[in-house]
A and B are shown apart, each in its own frame.
Chain A
Amino acid sequence: MTRSANRPPLAARIALYAFLLSAAAFFLLPLYVMVITSLKTMPELRDGSMLALPQGLNFEAWANAWSSACTGLECKGIAPGFFNSLQIVVPSVVLSITVGAINGYALAMWKFPHADKVATLIALGVFIPYQVVMLPIIKMFGAVGLQGSLPAIVLVHVLFGLPFMTLLFRNFYTSVPGDLMRAAVMDGGGFWAIFIHIMLPLSTNVMLVALILQVTGIWNDFLLGLMFAGRDNVPMTVQLNNIVNVSFGEVRHNVNMAATLLTAIPPLLVYFVSGKYFVRGVTAGATKG
């Protein structure tokens, strides 16, 4: 147990930190640009360098983006979209995680005939190019009068999240010791009883991973929300597109960046707050092969 065995050389430590900090700079650069652009005025943007710090903390662009930017004939900013996105994300995430957990549990712990084949059938759905199959799905929804509504978009999100969620939970539950299951069955537990009382409490870590992935994926979705949510429920991303994607006249970069950041904040917050749980959840066997 000599010192040299325990303490790596200083040069190596410096190199280590240099690498990690340069990487950090690379990853932070775009966020930095977005934030300082949103805090500048248009003259500053026109004349100054992209990386220059703003001359003052000018939150006008943020106020504009939130409540008065024009998204078509209406000039109510991006705020309405925020509440629509909430309305879409909450039920979609809750339902898709619930369904994924139940599926994963059923497939992993109850080896009914052809369970493996069913698992593969569902999991392969992850490869579907959703932009092409959108049209027949729209027609099918339209035929039952479901098109263009909140239930429609929630259903679509659950549907497209089904393969990956099922895979995630199935992988997790296969790593739970078989003895636990056998003991529970011998104690007379049924399918639902075991799920609710034994499996769910064990699943917090993988549920967190699922939550993080689904909140991010569904909040950031644009195309599905545009197609299925109906004009009164369009998510924030659609409103953002209306503000940013204007091809005429002067482009107000500061308002665009503020609007972009406002749209990005919920998933960002989720990652900032729960990053360590994400790693922990992944450790808990969520990604075993």
Chain B
Amino acid sequence: MPQAHAPVRFSRLALRASALAATALVFSGMASAQTIEVMHWWTSASESAAVKVLAETYGAAGGTWKDTAIAGTGVAQKAIIARLSSGNPPGASMFNFGKRIDEMASEGLLGDISDVAQRDKWAASVPAPILQAVTYKGKVVAVPVTVAGVNWVWFSPKVLKTAGVAAPKTMDEMFAAADKIKAAGFTPFAIGTQAWQLNWLYGNLLLGNGGRAVYEQFTKADPAVYATPSAAKAMEHLLRVRGLIDPAATNRSWNDSTNLVMTDRAAFQFMGDWAKGEFLSAGKKPGVDFGCMLTPGAQDLYVVMGDAFAMSGKVNAETAAAQKKLAAAVMDPRAQRRFALAKGSIPVRTDVPSVGFDECAVNAMKLMADPKAVVAGAPIVLSGDVNGAITDAIGKIWATPSIKPDAALQMLASAMKAAK
């Protein structure tokens, strides 16, 4: 009797269909089981393009990248710390190389990807200061994503040529050149007088006048560094800069200052790698339209900072596996190469061929590969509090036109001491 059989046949068919569906679900579930949520603050066009490279690499390895981007470093960091403290952390979150990673790790909020680091032999291809920045008490807690240089000086070849000066190799040469540039009618230094930019400048002046030894004394937050002759010379140079900037420098943003160099109205800007991105997106060619050199007096050193994806701790097995996959994807040489090209930075791996990178990057990559040349920058080593305190002090120093170098150095020393 067809009526009686039909329901049975149908239900058996339905059973088989649902079994198949269930199996398919299980398999697709396994693939999407490697979903990882990544929180970061890279929201501009070039940064987003770079993040996409990593997301695609992760996807090609069989995972799903869940992107949580929040604009503004400060805002994003607040949100990241809140999530990590809330018991519902993302799989991975962006941190600058620095004390914050240590603090999060010391609270047990970060995971452990030492096995990936061992397996993929990061120690052989990542400079020691960078690997140290992502390691806490022997455990690797984050994967380095990008590295940026602290001691870059961007300059306008046209301005230098017109003023009849060569690219300076020492601080004294630089300031002698600055006087000539001013006489020729150009602005020697392109800078905005925001406290952080001035702090950045002073850090570089200290580096250029005192070299590695003095700089490392500074980054170890030793207030006695401000009693050294190099620091005194650097302070004199800083106060001289006051007369070597244009009137519109007040409170100007860093990228508007870069514009001055780009349009050949100013000679030098001390700024990190990201300034190169401004030139490149305006279609300027390195070596032709703009020049890049390292801080005079320290041109054999590459002072680094950077960003990492910190792996959250206290996650389930699935997320932990996704984290390991993420670490491997980020450190993949091809991904590193494409990422750096998209972002305008250089890879954290030293074994990526420098073909295709612009001449500034090539120079930097060469230095990165030399263990003697890489120095951990102030942003990595100084705590947020100390850095903030000396930034406040420098802002105050700049706002006091009549201040003498000795008094200024005293201010910095006591600010550093109070914040330690």
| A positions within 8 Å CB-CB of B | 70-74, 134-135, 138-139, 141-143, 145, 147-148, 223, 226-227, 231, 238, 241-250
Contacts and interface: CB of A to CB of B under 8 A. Distances in A.
B108 interface: no
- Chain B: interface residue count, which band? 20 to 34
A12 B87 CA distance: 66
Given A71-B69, A226-B75, A249-B277, A138 B43 contact: no
A70 B43 contact: yes
B263 interface: no
Contacts of A73: 48, 51-52, 55, 67, 69
A72 B82 CA distance: 20
B47 A248 contact: yes
B31 interface: no
A227 B43 contact: no
B82 A134 contact: yes
B71 A246 contact: yes
B75 A139 contact: no
B264 interface: no
Interface in B23-58: 37, 42-48, 51-52, 55
Contact of B88 (A135, A142, A223, A226): A142
Given A71-B71, A73-B67, A246-B44, 4 more contacts: A138-B85, A139-B85, A242-B69, A247-B44
Given A72-B69, A248-B47, A248-B274, A148 B86 contact: yes
Interface string B76-106: 0011001101111000000000000000000
B44 A138 contact: no
**Minimum-distance CB pairs A-B, first 6:** A72-B69, A142-B87, A248-B44, A142-B86, A245-B71, A242-B71
B365 to A, nearest CB: 22
Contact of B75 (A231, A245, A250): A245
Given A231-B37, A241-B72, A242-B69, A249 B44 contact: yes
B359 interface: no
A174 to B, nearest CB: 39
A247 B255 contact: yes
Interface of B: 37, 42-48, 51-52, 55, 67-72, 75, 78-79, 82-83, 85-88, 253, 255, 274, 277-278, 281
A238 B87 contact: no
Contacts of A72: 42-43, 48, 67-71
Contacts of B277: 248-249
Residue in A73, A242, A248 whose Cβ sees the most chain B Cβ within 10 Å: A73
Nearest to A241: B71
A245 B41 CA distance: 10
B79 A227 contact: yes
Contacts of A249: 44-46, 255, 277-278, 281
A135 B78 CA distance: 10
B344 to A, nearest CB: 10
Contacts of B67: 72-74
Given A138-B82, A142-B86, A148-B83, A70 B48 contact: yes
B44 to A, nearest CB: 4
Q: Choose among A74, A243, A245 the residue with the greatest number of B CB atoms under 10 Å from its CB.
A: A245
A34 B96 CA distance: 35
25 contacts: A70-B45, A71-B69, A71-B71, A72-B43, A72-B71, A73-B48, A73-B51, A74-B67, A138-B86, A139-B87, A142-B85, A142-B86, A147-B86, A147-B87, A148-B86, A242-B43, A242-B69, A243-B71, A245-B71, A246-B44, A248-B281, A249-B44, A249-B255, A249-B277, A250-B281
A70 to B, nearest CB: 6
Given A73-B55, A134-B82, A147-B87, A241 B75 contact: yes
Between A238, A241, A249, the greatest number of chain B beta carbons within 10 A of the residue's beta carbon is seen for A249
Contacts of B45: 70, 248-249
A244 B69 CA distance: 13
A74 B52 CA distance: 10
Contacts of B71: 71-72, 241-246
Contacts of B75: 226, 241, 245
Contacts of A139: 85-87
A226 B72 CA distance: 12
B70 to A, nearest CB: 7
Contacts of A134: 82
Contacts of B83: 148
Contact of A238 (B37, B42, B70, B278): B70
A196 B375 CA distance: 71
Contacts of B79: 226-227
Given A135-B85, A148-B88, A248 B46 contact: yes
Contacts of A231: 37, 68
B52 A141 contact: no
Contacts of A141: 86
A260 to B, nearest CB: 14
A143 B70 contact: no
Given A70-B48, A74-B67, A227 B78 contact: yes
B70 A226 contact: yes
Contacts of A244: 71
B84 to A, nearest CB: 10
A38 to B, nearest CB: 19
Contacts of B281: 248-250
A71 B43 contact: yes
Contacts of A227: 78-79, 82
A245 B47 CA distance: 14
A245 B86 contact: no
Contacts of A71: 43, 69, 71
A243 B46 CA distance: 14
A147 B85 CA distance: 10
Contacts of B88: 142, 145, 147-148
Contacts of A147: 86-88
B254 to A, nearest CB: 8
A223 B47 CA distance: 24
Contacts of B42: 72
Contacts of A246: 43-44, 71
A245 B72 contact: yes
Among A138, A142, A226, A248, which residue has the most Cβ atoms of chain B within 10 A?
Answer: A248
A41 B127 CA distance: 47
